[in-house]
Structure 1
């Protein structure tokens, strides 16, 4: 990441000059060759050679001819590395940290991986700015799950990606405290909470851990060869663990008046499998252990019409919720509602 404004760099070595050239090109505009040469303090011929080097590294640089022609970085087939200045790096880190504390659906795991990579290379002075900004701001809205420190997620994500043993303190559902030494496999978001799937060294078995009950996680530095997960898929393992851990589960059967791709993108995968019925309808079936009230609300915010066939408890809950929302949206009877005039009028 380039921390300062790009200035003349006559005499700079080629790698440093390439990074500075890349930083300029990543600004969304057309750069005339003469202006790039002036900024970098080199000849236009050197600029052309450096452009060719960037192309060899996979950066899709397009050149246009004419009096107004120049160079522009365009979208390619693969995502090349980005060069960020200080302000851009801080802005991205703050945004990722703000969203990482809740299990936001859709890109939650990718966001945590990106945050872990970014914070690994942030200079100390930028880390301080990111932390100060987050402390000084408060979100008006939040997710419907427990809040989690972004540092907890990034430490876990880095340990899992690097196949490094992870030690942490854990509070069980009954309040029992323990210390765990694990081989982290994968972080999974259910839409409300984060879970860690890991092999527990002391118990010699696979375990799931609610991340909001984890404290003081740190990577030990000891590497491990990843084991094969029994279910083969971390999300499926979490789903089965939740079924075993709850006293009551429900067979879910819901039909949506929307394409399968639309519904899949808006509901957590832990609810079950979405199967297309036709181009504009699909069906969700699965076994769930979440609260009936949460299921009703979660389905309602999927942003499409749906019909619940099972379980019966969910049918009743959706009907009651719909009636309550209808009453809430109806205008109050004249003379019975609160005085609509502003206070002090």
Structure 2
């Protein structure tokens, strides 16, 4: 049995995660009775939390607009300083866990008083983010909005610009944000097609929440979905190789952002990798520095043999 204080914090966390909860849903998540939930709600109201409720058997509880607060006392300047630091950590990955920094930033911004939130928005307009030459800029506000939708599991009308520049609008069920390299990817289910898709977050132009909370059943591995999209959907060439390493070591050799992996017995792994040309894939294989077998296609195998022969002959060797 958890203590009352810990239970109240847990209740606050649940209320902040979704637009609305029924008493039964809260009781089920917290493993307590409906009576305990109602008593805890009353206690939170006594402490100054604006918790609203709808009457009737299908009514629910929700945090009132602008009344969310954290059980942490920060003055105005401290709140701004923490928000800016978390934003930098989320965008740069300097802490090694940009998802954790983004989640903390989301919770902090939900708890900021209106005047401080307005100051933070004004600072957003003044900030300039310098990007790498191959990195498109994404506004921190959009990143935070996508994270909010994922936390709430709220169906959303997504305005998106494809690689070719075509503007599209579709209804999606948000699930996760995935950062790989210098880019963020938004993982969501396309409602019309009934398929899981990955979207480059920097190509999202607008989101319109519908207010409909959806139940995400049988979700995919978001990191694996992004990796497959990168290896198969972006590059015109895909090769399949076999490396004599167990799965954990193969993942260290070829990161999941580069290829998709499946075990081939306890001591070998099959890896699929995408590239722009057969020759570029052959150069990548030479850099791995391990014995390997190219299973397909043949043009990558021939390119690897040709480059190996050139290296051998260029260093004083005869015919290999």
User: TM-score, normalised to structure 1's length?
Assistant: 0.51
**Number of paired residues?**
224
1:199 aligns with 2:189: yes
Q: Aligned to 2:230, which of 220, 235, 242? A: 242
Structure having the higher helix fraction is 2
Displacement of 1:309: 6.0
1:147 aligns with 2:137: yes
Query: Is the 1:155–1:219 Cα contact (8 Å) retained in structure 2?
Result: no
| Bigger Rg, structure 1 or 2 | 1
SS in 2 for 1:289: strand
Instruction: Give the alignment partner of residue 233 of structure 1, picking from 221, 225, 228.
Output: 221
SS at match of 1:270: coil
Q: Distance in 2 between matches of 1:154 and 1:148?
A: 10
Cα distance change, pair 132–253 in 1 and its aligned pair in 2 (3 A): farther
Q: 1:217 to 1:104 in 2, by over 3 A?
A: farther
Please give the alpha-carbon distance, in whole angstroms, between the structure 2 residues aligned to 1:172 and 1:273. Answer: 24
- How far the C-alpha of 1:90 sits from its partner, in A, is 0.7
Q: Return the offset for 1:307.
A: 3.8
1:35-71 CA distance string (max 9 Å, x none) = xxxxxxxxxxxxxxxxxxxxxxxxxxxxxxxxxxxxx
Structure 1 residue aligned with 2:108: 118
TM-aligned CA deviation for residue 184 of structure 1: 0.8
For the aligned residue pairs, the C-alpha RMSD in angstroms reads 4.6
CA distance in 1, matches of 2:258, 2:146: 25
Question: Which of these residues, 62, 68, 84, is aligned with residue 94 of structure 1?
Answer: 84
Q: 1:213 to 1:142 in 2, by over 3 A?
A: same
**Distance (whole Å) between structure 2 residues aligned to residue 127 and residue 134 of structure 1:** 11
Structure 1 residues 306 and 199, CA gap change in structure 2 (3 angstroms) = closer
**What is the correspondence of 1:1-345 to structure 2 with a 5 Å cutoff?**
82-101=72-91, 106-139=96-129, 145-229=135-219, 232-245=220-233, 246-250=235-239, 269-271=256-258, 286-289=271-274, 307=289
CA contact (8 A) 1:148 1:211 kept: yes
List runs of 5+ in structure 2 lacking aligned partners.
6-69, 262-267, 295-299, 308-320
Change (3 A) 1:116 1:144: farther
Contact 2:157 2:169 in 1 (8 A): yes
SS of the residue 1:161 aligns to: helix
Q: Measure the CA separation in 2 of the matches of 1:252 and 1:108.
A: 32
Structure 2: distance between partners of 1:127 and 1:306: 48
Q: State whether residues 155 and 209 of structure 2, in contact with CA within 8 Å, keep that contact through their aligned partners in structure 1.
A: yes
Q: Distance in 1 between matches of 2:280 and 2:119?
A: 37
* Consecutive unaligned residues in structure 1, runs of 5 or more: 1-14, 16-79, 275-282, 299-304, 317-345
Cα distance change of structure 1 residues 129 and 244 upon mapping to structure 2, 3 Å threshold: same
Q: Partners of 1:92 and 1:219 in 2: how far apart?
A: 27
* Residues 254, 306 of structure 1: 8 Å contact kept: no
User: 1:123–1:188: structure 2 CA closer, same or farther, 3 Å change rule?
Assistant: same
Partner of 2:212: helix, strand, or coil?
strand
1:237 Cα deviation from its structure 2 partner: 1.5
Sort the Cα spacing of 1:139 and 1:267 in 2 relative to 1 into closer, same or farther, 3 A: farther
What TM-score do the two structures reach when normalised by structure 2? 0.54
Checking the alignment, whether the CA contact within 8 Å between 1:155 and 1:218 is kept in structure 2 is no
